[in-house]
Structures are given as structure tokens and as C-alpha cells.
């Protein structure tokens, strides 16, 4: 079995040279508690990133407002100079307050500053992919127009500071609004086996060849809990979280995963989920999980 097969196969972001394995890595948990400040063990954070790449991961999701600045600086320490095959996806649209609060930062000046912060802390001349994080509830997008924000990012793309654009926490209407301004290569929304409000959107994006990247694939700050999930996991000899990741890989070929961890053992568990084949019976049980189970 090749590395790509072990990590769920591969997917090419539309209109790009980036063909990446479907099992990636989310860097949010490399920062301290509540994604604030430095980690308790910086050496371990560096080691986790290095092991991820050694295991075949070639897609890292990050943001300079994680920490803030902390996560990107750890990525640079661990992996710079970056291998040619590595794709680093970041996001802009928020800032952290002195009290660790999460606040919108959507003006053209704020977005431009955020892009330059990412460039500086990652140590690159251009960012592979930048997602605009649409402001709203943590699990649910707002409905305002994103035309001014996406236009500002498209201008930075024209300047050569960004290679490709994506959008996060967005409605179908906002995605189409963005696509009218510049190509969208990926969408990052809240989605998992027990939270499937985006089912139609996943299929629509698959038909367009656009990647769908679920955030909180394991429930986020409230881990997934479901009798069906636990029963399937027990029958297969895997953990419930591994089964939840495997379900996402089975759900649609355009789904790319970015589970995060600061633990080497947990990293290995996440990556092993890509090798889990789910039977039609297991899928039927998992598909019966109601959204209220989240």
C-alpha cells in the first residue's frame, strides 16, 4: 500500500498543481490551552509536525491567529525550509483580543495585515492557500455579503502574495459570491458524522471538483458521543474517533481531513483511521446517527 493509499487516497485542488493526500493535519492544538499562548511542550509540538510529514502528510491547516502567531512559528521551526510537496493552508478574518477572545477582522487593512503576518511567521514569500473565515457563530456562518473581503484577498492574490483562495464557515450563497470574484479551491465548514447540515453542499462541491474540509471532524470542543458510533467502533476494534474520521473519508472523495493533536500517539491513531474500511452495515449504522447526537 502506498503512502497516498494509507492516507485515504489523494485529491487535486481545482486549478492548482496541488495533489494532496486526503488525511492531513490541523495545527490549532499546537498552541496553548484555548489556542492561546505557547504550548506546554514546544519540543513535542515540533516532533508531532515532523512525524506527520515523515508519515506522508502533505497538507497542514493553520492560522496566524492561533496563539496568536505561535502555531505558525512552530511550523516554521519544525519544517522550514518546506519540502516542495507540502501544502500549507491558512485562514484570515479574525484576531485575538488581549483576553484571548476571538474577534472579527474583516476590513481590507486587517486582512492585508493578516496575510503579511502569515507570510512572516511561516517564512514564505507566498501563501499556498488562504481561506477567508466568514464571521458568525463558532459552528454556523452568518449571512452577510463577503464581497468586500474576498475582493481584498483576490487583490493580494493578484499581487502574488497568495496562490489560491478558499472560504471557511460559509453558506452556499457566500461560496457562489466568492466564486464570482475569484476561483475557490476549498471550503472549510463544520461537518462530522453527527452534524450533517452541509450534506447537500458537500455533494454540490464534489460535482464542481472543489475540496470540502470539515472543521471539528471529531466534535471540536465537545467530543462526539453516540451509541451507534461506539457500537461500530467496538465491533471493528477501533476507537470511536477513528471510525468518525473513516466515515468522513467514505462520505465523499472531495473531503479532506485535518484532525489536530499535540500528541504523537494521537497523531498515529488519526492517521491509522485512513486504513479503516467500513462495511455497508457499518455505514448504515453511522448514517442513522441524528444531528442531536453531537
| Residues 210, 212: Cα–Cα separation, whole Å | 7
Task: Tabulate helix, strand, coil % of the chain (nearest 5).
Answer: 40, 20, 35
Q: What is the span of the domain harbouring residue 29?
A: 3-288
Distance CA 273, CA 291 (A): 22
Q: Which residue from 50, 62, 79 is spatially nearest to 127, judged by alpha carbons?
A: 62
Strands (DSSP E) contained in the chain are 10-12, 19-21, 25-26, 59-61, 87-92, 94-96, 102-104, 127-133, 136-137, 140-141, 162-168, 184-190, 211-215
Q: Is residue 117 part of a domain?
A: yes
pLDDT at 106: 96
Q: Tell me, what's the pLDDT at 224? A: 83
Who's near 30: CB < 8 A, 6+ residues apart? 39, 45, 48, 49, 66, 70, 71, 74, 75, 260, 262
Structural domain includes residue 293: no
Helices and strands of the chain, counted as H and E runs? 11, 13
128: in domain: yes
The pLDDT score that the predictor gives to residue 27 is: 98
Q: What is the pLDDT of residue 137?
A: 75
CA 26 to CA 131: how far, in whole Å? Answer: 14
Q: Please indicate, yes or no, if residue 71 is contained in any of the structural domains.
A: yes
**Cα(249)–Cα(93) distance, integer angstroms:** 28
Residues taking part in catalysis: 66
Output the pLDDT for position 126. Answer: 98
Number of domains in the chain: 1
Q: Locate all alpha helices (DSSP H) within 80-226, ordered by sequence.
A: 108-122, 147-158, 172-179, 199-208
Instruction: Specify if 294 maps to a domain.
Output: no
DSSP 206-225: HHHT-EEEEESTT-TTS---
- Cα 114 to Cα 153: distance, rounded to the nearest angstrom: 11
Q: Could you read off the pLDDT tens digit of each residue along the chain, which spans 294 residues?
A: 566 577 899 999 999 999 999 999 999 999 999 999 999 999 999 999 999 999 999 999 999 999 999 999 999 999 999 999 999 999 999 999 999 999 999 999 999 999 999 999 999 999 999 999 999 877 678 889 999 999 999 999 999 999 999 999 999 999 999 999 999 999 999 999 999 999 999 999 999 999 999 999 988 767 788 889 999 999 999 999 999 999 999 999 999 999 999 999 999 999 999 999 999 999 999 999 876 433
Let me know if residue 28 belongs to a domain. yes
99 part of a folded domain: yes
> Rounded to 5 degrees, what are φ and ψ at 122?
-85, -20
CATH number at residue 234: 3.20.20.100
Taking a C-beta distance cutoff of 8 angstroms, is the pair 73, 42 a contact? no
Amino acid at each position: 500500500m502506498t503512502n497516498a493509499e494509507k492516507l485515504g487516497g489523494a485529491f487535486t485542488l481545482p486549478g492548482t498543481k496541488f495533489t494532496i493526500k486526503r488525511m492531513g493535519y490541523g495545527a490549532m492544538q499546537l498552541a496553548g490551552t484555548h489556542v492561546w499562548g505557547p504550548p506546554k511542550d514546544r519540543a513535542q509540538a515540533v516532533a508531532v509536525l515532523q512525524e506527520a510529514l515523515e508519515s506522508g502528510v502533505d497538507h497542514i491547516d493553520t492560522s496566524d491567529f492561533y496563539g496568536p502567531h505561535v502555531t505558525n512559528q512552530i511550523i516554521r521551526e519544525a519544517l522550514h525550509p518546506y519540502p516542495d510537496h507540502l501544502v500549507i493552508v491558512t485562514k484570515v478574518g479574525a484576531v485575538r483580543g488581549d483576553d484571548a477572545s476571538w474577534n472579527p477582522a474583516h476590513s481590507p487593512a486587517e486582512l492585508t495585515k493578516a496575510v503579511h503576518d502569515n507570510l512572516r511567521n511561516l517564512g514564505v514569500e507566498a501563501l499556498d492557500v488562504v481561506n477567508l473565515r466568514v464571521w458568525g457563530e463558532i459552528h454556523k456562518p452568518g449571512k452577510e455579503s463577503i464581497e468586500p473581503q474576498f475582493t481584498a484577498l483576490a487583490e493580494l492574490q493578484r499581487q502574488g502574495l497568495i496562490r489560491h483562495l478558499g472560504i471557511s464557515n460559509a453558506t452556499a450563497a457566500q461560496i457562489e459570491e466568492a466564486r464570482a470574484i475569484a476561483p475557490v479551491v476549498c471550503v472549510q465548514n463544520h461537518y462530522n458524522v453527527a452534524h450533517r447540515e452541509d450534506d447537500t453542499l458537500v455533494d454540490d462541491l464534489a460535482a464542481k471538483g472543489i475540496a470540502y474540509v470539515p472543521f471539528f471532524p471529531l466534535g471540536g470542543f465537545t467530543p462526539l458521543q453516540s451509541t451507534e458510533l461506539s457500537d461500530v467502533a467496538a465491533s471493528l476494534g477501533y476507537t470511536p474517533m477513528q471510525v468518525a474520521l473513516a466515515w468522513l473519508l467514505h462520505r465523499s472523495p472531495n473531503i479532506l481531513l485535518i484532525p489536530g493533536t499535540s500528541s504523537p500517539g494521537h497523531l498515529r491513531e488519526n492517521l491509522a483511521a485512513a486504513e479503516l474500511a467500513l462495511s455497508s452495515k457499518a455505514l448504515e449504522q453511522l448514517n442513522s446517527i441524528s444531528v442531536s447526537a453531537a
